[in-house]
Structure 1
């Protein structure tokens, strides 16, 4: 299968993206393997998709489909067990549901479904393909001829030199305990767990208990989100005449917010709500993002 750019669903207004309407795409070829994609948003600033692999499936790279990009990426596991490897360095990390992997530009990566159920992974990618950071960029990189999934240099040094070895990692596993927590919103009732934050992308998990709501907020960057649990309501207090001001999202649904859009999150149900978000490039409303950081490795 010859390389072709993936679809780029783009929105100019706040948009509810129900699971049933998400753009489907099949990525890959016989060499790289094939991946099922559900592409939610591919805008000027952020790319959000869910990719799936069958039990014991995997993707690698081929000459046409090279997995090395000019972007920061967060891969959040929704179901299954993901092994993510850098075939250039030999790193292999195990990531389970509720955990994430983070890496920066020019990081080769392969993914293996290490289990007997379907692997589904939510991915945030910025700068997005619309800025030439994906397939077109990958074809300019030297082709990786040999892949390895071992690191012999750690033999005799683990765990005695664990910190030194981890500091050289190109991929960071972010467990639940590794999230950097923030209390935001109405009476600090919104729990935000940051997965990663750089100059290009901030991604995190929001937990909203029954009956709670956030304050009206906005970001300097575009926001894309994905509901993982419960029923989330989104209020848009300044919605125009052609945009619904009160939206209800179910698990598997997404939502897109242009930069600067005032919005507010509600949980009107009796069950907890959880969603995963990405904001690109800047999280704070004034674009004066303070110190950017990358979580320390725990993989």
Structure 2
């Protein structure tokens, strides 16, 4: 078990622009579990947000040193490629394409596979974060999963659409599944909101601007479309796709679209999305 080393934990005390080409790089895994490239945007005492990537055909499973069972809520948003996510303890498998998400709660074993023709890129929100002991250190204390299962034979002879799986661990989320809000003057689409983590998208129309808001938790914003201008406290920045922005808990902030295109971003707030 000596192969495991904690990943870097960049954190910030003030509103901070996180440019795509400047974020911390890290390689996770080993030859048995597989190797995954991480781009770490933030890993504070409140939230952990990364983009992870694999080549076409790449995968991660688990090994003695790198176990994929954590004490956190996670939401995986597919930016590029095709993600096939498996729970090797139950045989449950979901497939997510760009723009779709998979949400699961703590103590869920998970393996990931890249099934697209292009590299896989996934935006991951994770809370409570590793800094609180929820990731590798926690995983090494859990019973080791000796046998991985990749199929649910219970559906054989009983798969009548639409399939319902109330006991499942993964929730596949599409745009139509989001809960919509307009209370800040822009469209906010909530994908998941628990006591630990809220994740959603925000869309700013051409020329649009939000009202000033704040949250009880720390927010990491990741731009996926257009030119998004962020004002947080005394800091202002215009973000391009791939850029991030860290908003400390309780910091007043607002968004606007610059240029002649819609601006869109994905955000994660931990632990509390409620006004701060």
In the superposition, the TM-score normalised over structure 2's length comes to 0.97
- Deviation for aligned residue 1:161: 7.9
Paired position in structure 2 for 1:195: 191
Instruction: Decide which of 242, 249, 252 is 1:262's aligned counterpart.
Output: 252
Question: 1:93 aligns to what SS in structure 2?
Answer: strand
**Higher relative strand content:** 2
Paired position in structure 2 for 1:280: 270
Question: 1:278 aligns to what SS in structure 2?
Answer: strand
Give the 5 Å matches for 1:19-168: 19-159=20-160, 162-163=163-164, 166-168=165-167
- Deviation for aligned residue 1:180: 1.2
- Deviation for aligned residue 1:184: 2.7
- Deviation for aligned residue 1:160: 6.1
CA distance in 1, matches of 2:161, 2:187: 36
Paired position in structure 2 for 1:250: 240
- Whether the 8 Å contact between 1:48 and 1:122 is mirrored in structure 2 is yes
The answer to whether residue 177 in structure 2 is matched with residue 178 in structure 1 is: yes
Paired position in structure 2 for 1:210: 206
Question: 1:19 aligns to what SS in structure 2?
Answer: coil
CA distance in 1, matches of 2:162, 2:182: 35
Structure 1 runs (4+) deviating above 3 angstroms are none
CA distance in 1, matches of 2:22, 2:95: 31
Query: Per-residue CA shift, 1:63-119, capped at 9, x if unaligned?
Result: 000000000000000000000010000011000000000000000000000122100
- Deviation for aligned residue 1:263: 0.4
Paired position in structure 1 for 2:217: 221
CA distance in 1, matches of 2:268, 2:203: 15
In the superposition, the TM-score normalised over structure 1's length comes to 0.90
RMSD: 1.1
- Deviation for aligned residue 1:162: 2.5
Question: 2:70 aligns to what SS in structure 1?
Answer: coil
Quickly say closer, same or farther: Cα 1:248–1:87, change in 2 above 3 A: same
Aligned residues: 275
- Whether the 8 Å contact between 1:184 and 1:214 is mirrored in structure 2 is no
